[in-house]
């Protein structure tokens, strides 16, 4: 009898203690895992989020880079972290591609989403000397001469590749019509466009801004619902050819699944506050990153929808593993 009483008392005590622990969250250092290397765009965004979060929550926030395997290593590390709310992660579009390509079993379902913090729509860039002056001309030329023109700007199956392949797929143009030349990154791909090695690069607008300004590139369209604030002259895909199509790369904050609801809510609210913070907006604006926010629930829905549409595109271009 006595023992049962003691145990239940201990259980109640433990429950109240953990209860107060939640109320006092956060009480130790918070870690943000970034699946990409230090110095890159995702890293810079994570460090800015970390700095503001540290100020808002009054608790030290450290950013860790877990790189390698085209993001697989870092994304897995976020999912495998202890779900105590002290390990956060900044995930990127790749999470919805790598499992289709058979690189990992991991999907977005392993996370509890907090908020989408940014999205950069893809642009359609061609060399300044290119005969194409609008998106319609380019698309019809590709349709008429399958295999003649080549695209570049990222690795095979990278976000930018899928953005353009998805658009062509939407227009019923076969994936083989525009063979893809893999490149190490957007900058390398753009240089190849200028040097005449390939014909179109669907990368983000800020990445191409300097070369466009130098008169080496022209931008035919932006894959978004509305024109970009910094590039008001570039039409959207719908304005150019009448087909609605938006695609880009995004970054969002998550915690591993299993974190206490109250903590998820608290962190989610913290993310919204960061997004509205002028310091964050100022940083993103200067760095040329697109701003887009989605709350926890909306971001969760978005992840599911995007995962499905990525599956369609990857299957269409034959990169999905069966």
Partner 1 sequence: MSTLALAFDLVARWEVLLAITLAAVFGLFVGAIPGLTATLAVAVLVPITFHLDPIAAVGAMVSCSAMAIFAGDIPAFLLRIPGTPASAAYADEGYKMTLRGEAEKALGASLLFSAVGGLFGTAVLMLAAPSLAEVALKFSSFEYFWLALLGLTSAAFVSAGDPLKGLASLLIGLSASTIGMENPIGTPRFNFGSIELLGGVNFIAALIGLFAVAEILRYALKPSNNPHSVPQTSVGNPFRAWGKMLKTYWRNQIRGNILGVVVGALPGAGADIAAWMAYSISRRFSKQKEKYGTGHVEGIIESTSANNAALGSAWVPALVFGVPGDSITAIVIGVLFVHGMNPGPTLFLINPENIYAVFLIFIVANILLVVLGWGAIAVSKRILIIPRRLLMPVILAFCVTGAFAGNNNTFDIGVMLCFGILGFLMEENGIPVAPCILGLLLGEVLESNFITSMLKADGDLFAFFSRPISAGLGILTLIIWLFPLIRTVQALRVRRQKTA
Partner 2 sequence: MRAIKIFWEEAMRVTDRTLGLVFVIAALIMGFMATRLPGGAPGNYGPDVFPILLSIFAILTGIGLIVRNSANQGTLKPLVRRVRLDWVRGAAVIASPIYAIVAMPTFGYSLTIFPVLVLLMAVFRCRLIIILPVAALCTIAIKYAFINVLSVPLPTATFLPF
Residues of the shown chain interacting with partner 1 in the complex, contacts defined by CB under 8 A: 37-41, 43-44, 47-48, 51, 64-70, 72-73, 76, 101, 103-104, 150, 155-157, 179, 181-184, 187-188, 190-192, 194-198, 206-207, 209-211, 213-214, 216, 283, 286-288
Given the complex with partner 1, which of 64 and 173 has the nearer CB atom? 64
Those residues with Cβ within 8 angstroms of residue 100's Cβ, 6 or more apart along the chain or in another chain: 310, 311, 314, 315, 319, 320, 321
SS3 call for 190: helix
Would you give the binding string for partner 2 spanning residues 5-34, x where CB under 8 A is met? Answer: --------------------------x---
CA quadruple 95, 97, 103, 107: dihedral sign: positive
Q: 174 touches which of partner 2, partner 1, none (CB within 5 to 8 A by kind)?
A: none
Q: Six-digit token pair at 173?
A: 């143009």
113's CB contacts (< 8 A; 6+ apart) are: 252, 253, 254, 296, 299, 300, 303
**Residue 80 contact among partner 2, partner 1, none, beta carbon within 5 to 8 Å by kind:** none
Q: Report the distance separating Cα 270 and Cα 108, nearest Å.
A: 21
CB atoms within 10 A of CB 28: 10
Q: Using CB distances below 5 to 8 A depending on partner kind, what does residue 62 bind out of partner 2, partner 1, none?
A: partner 2
Between 179 and 185, whose beta carbon lies closer to partner 2?
179
156 lies in the site for partner 2, by CB under 8 A: yes
Please give the residue ranges that form the binding site for partner 2 (CB under 8 A): 31, 62, 64, 156, 179-180, 318-319
């Amino acid at each position: 009898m006595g023992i049962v009483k003691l145990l239940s008392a201990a259980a109640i005590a433990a429950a109240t203690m953990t209860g107060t622990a939640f109320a006092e969250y956060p009480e130790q250092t918070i870690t943000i895992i970034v699946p990409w290397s230090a110095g890159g765009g995702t890293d810079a965004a994570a460090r800015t989020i970390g700095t503001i979060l540290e100020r808002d929550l009054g608790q030290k926030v450290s950013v860790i880079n877990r790189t390698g395997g085209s993001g697989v290593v870092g994304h897995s590390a976020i999912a495998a972290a202890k779900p105590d709310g002290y390990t956060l992660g900044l995930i990127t579009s790749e999470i919805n591609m790598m499992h289709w390509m058979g690189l990992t079993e991991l999907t977005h379902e392993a996370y509890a989403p907090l908020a989408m913090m940014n999205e950069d729509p893809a642009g359609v860039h061609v060399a300044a000397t290119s005969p194409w002056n609008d998106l319609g001309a380019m698309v019809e030329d590709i349709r008429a001469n399958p295999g003649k023109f080549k695209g570049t700007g990222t690795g095979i199956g990278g976000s930018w590749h899928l953005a353009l392949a998805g658009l062509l797929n939407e227009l019923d143009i076969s994936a083989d019509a525009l063979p893809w030349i893999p490149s190490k990154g957007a900058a390398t791909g753009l240089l190849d466009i200028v040097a005449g090695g390939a014909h179109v690069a669907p990368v983000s607008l800020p990445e191409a801004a300097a070369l466009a300004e130098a008169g080496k590139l022209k931008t035919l369209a932006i894959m978004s619902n509305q024109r970009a604030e910094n590039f008001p002259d570039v039409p959207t895909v719908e304005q150019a050819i009448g087909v609605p199509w938006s695609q880009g790369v995004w970054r969002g904050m998550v915690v591993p699944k299993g974190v206490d609801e109250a903590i998820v809510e608290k962190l989610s609210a913290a993310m919204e506050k960061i997004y509205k913070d002028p310091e964050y907006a100022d940083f993103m604006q200067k760095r040329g990153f697109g701003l887009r926010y989605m709350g926890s629930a909306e971001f969760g829905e978005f992840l599911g929808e995007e995962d499905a549409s990525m599956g369609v595109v990857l299957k269409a271009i034959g990169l999905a593993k069966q």
